[in-house]
Chain A
């Protein structure tokens, strides 16, 4: 069973010629089949956690370990992490001029699966996945994220999630900027992947809204660069009612 283990993770970024510590000792274990929601106020370091796990060069790991099934993730390059089974659905997916969605998806699937998918079954696979996400077939011929609306970008991220079948999926504020219809479609996509029982999901969000569609097994409150409280789904209800105020103050004094 695939397990992502994060132990005492410390991360810094360079900003304005100063080094700033953003993550201050994160501990978290995500097992295949589990869904963890990480909730926290703006600036708490949630997205830093997501990008650090994926290996974005902007972030420097200064302490701690991250392993996937015992393998040292922090030693891997960005593409090696993806091939090892980590997937990051980005909050702000990047435009890639000159590369069509269909070419991108196939190149990516070839890299992740270790061999080119058979063309006939692949075309069908993509077509069906796109239909489930209410994506027009013409989408495949557009350049990656170029001119996509916010909702289209997020659906495109979830399309990749469904096709690439990672061991651990990190969804970084996938719900932000989505209207209710788009949120429902995107959530259904995430749930289809979860229902296979083969993916561990780390759902990073600011709002409790998405948790009405995607039910987490565990909820963690993130503040001041680390997890300050963990619990079951009932913790989300508490946050819904009381907000982050208690944690922001608590984080500052801790």
Chain B
């Protein structure tokens, strides 16, 4: 039922692409989830959940030495009917979508002073997106944000990240029964920023959740989208795009826990890499618990390596505790855009920059089209081309 594929396209893939051996979801974490940072040992780098992450570039987020003192400017634009509140640590609405699963998420949970709660009341259908822009103004920041949709509410949320920061944050999405939420997270930090975030969703009965992560910026970005279901009939689509340049570390770690019958999940992450020491990590875990009969899940990771010197680690993992499911599968493939491909396209009259653009645009287009937020789609395609030209130059 589960299949793992690694199909190097082209002939010169040796050495730079690795698909790690599978390990189980449960065994992969070195401590159980907790809100308290003290429950997690300081990672040394050999733990399953840290082994791909360059700890020395975390600027102390992982070992307690990163002291809050920086600032981040938050701009909200919320349509009528949406409530945006700033609350203290003791607000009962915090922490419902899931506990921190690693030390940095717990550090963020233990360190934030105020949290933001965005509420879309039940049966409210927004026609305009809620937009949140976080602009880093330097220094260490910790954050906590909750987006809650009441029953049958529908909303789109766009979260933009720009500027410079060293940031650890938790974001929660709590979807009421029949609610529909689309979230687009755009990570467009300056190339010096460090960003580690756990994004946890709790999906109500018959609710649907579309989560899109777009990662372009930062020195080190590690994002951990997680989904659980509060009732049957829930659907999750988790999409990701990343464009990893020279020196950047982009890590996306997903976990979908099918803990309830008759839920669906579909994970598609696609990344392009270009330049020396560009490193992308994708971990896709799906756990189908014994109770989750009728589950339908698929996860896929595709990488396009544009130049030498870039590295991809892609680890899909599927754990199934019941056979009574509709479907479950996963796939991972990493291909290279190499000199022979360039020669082939140029031999048909296509100039070099156009050839690269063609390949990268084609690679991302299908996924971009599924975002469903028109201005974001156009912006992403433009951004991809800018990245491409900046890197080629």
Contacts and interface: CB of A to CB of B under 8 A. Distances in A.
Q: Verify that A and B bind, or say they do not.
A: yes
A87 B9 CA distance: 25
Contacts of B339: 57
A111 B343 contact: no
Contact of A108 (B349, B352, B363): B349
A42 interface: no
Q: By DSSP majority rule, is chain A's interface helix, strand, loop, or mixed?
A: mixed
Nearest to A86: B347
A97 B350 contact: no
A83 interface: yes
Given A96-B341, A98-B363, A146-B9, A107 B346 contact: no
Contacts of B337: 96-97
A97 B9 contact: yes
Contact of A79 (B335, B340, B346, B360): B346
B221 to A, nearest CB: 23
Contact of A112 (B10, B340, B348): B348
A29 interface: no
A111 B351 contact: yes
B345 interface: yes
Nearest to B357: A107
A103 B349 contact: no
A191 to B, nearest CB: 22
Contacts of B349: 79, 82-83, 108, 111-112, 164
Interface in B311-364: 335, 337, 339-341, 343-352, 354, 358-360, 362-363
B37 interface: no
Contacts of A185: none
A78 B347 CA distance: 6
Contacts of B256: none
A77 B342 CA distance: 12
A107 B343 contact: no
A210 interface: no
Interface in A83-109: 83, 87-88, 90, 93-100, 103-104, 107-108
Interface string A44-87: 00000000001111000000000000000000011101110001
B86 to A, nearest CB: 44
A160 interface: yes
Contacts of B344: 90, 93-94, 96, 144
Interface size class of B (residues with CB under 8 A): 20 to 34
B348 A100 contact: no
B174 interface: no
Contact of B348 (A55, A82, A95, A146): A82
Chain A, interface residues (CB within 8 Å), range = 20 to 34
Given A97-B363, A111-B348, A111-B350, A103 B358 contact: yes
B94 interface: no
A100 B347 contact: no
A97 B304 CA distance: 8
Nearest to A98: B363
A13 B335 CA distance: 27
Contact of B304 (A94, A98, A103): A98
A45 B337 CA distance: 27
A104 B362 CA distance: 10
A99 B358 contact: yes
B362 A98 contact: yes
Given A88-B347, A111-B350, 20 more contacts: A55-B347, A57-B343, A77-B352, A79-B349, A82-B349, A94-B10, A94-B341, A94-B344, A95-B10, A96-B344, A98-B359, A98-B362, A99-B345, A99-B359, A99-B362, A107-B350, A107-B354, A111-B348, A112-B348, A143-B362
17 contacts: A55-B347, A56-B343, A78-B343, A78-B347, A79-B349, A82-B347, A88-B347, A95-B9, A99-B359, A99-B362, A100-B362, A107-B350, A107-B354, A111-B349, A111-B350, A111-B351, A144-B344
Interface of A: 54-57, 77-79, 81-83, 87-88, 90, 93-100, 103-104, 107-108, 111-112, 143-144, 146, 160, 164
Please list the 4 inter-chain residue pairs (A to B) with the smallest Cβ-Cβ separation, ordered nearest first. Answer: A98-B363, A111-B349, A82-B349, A108-B348
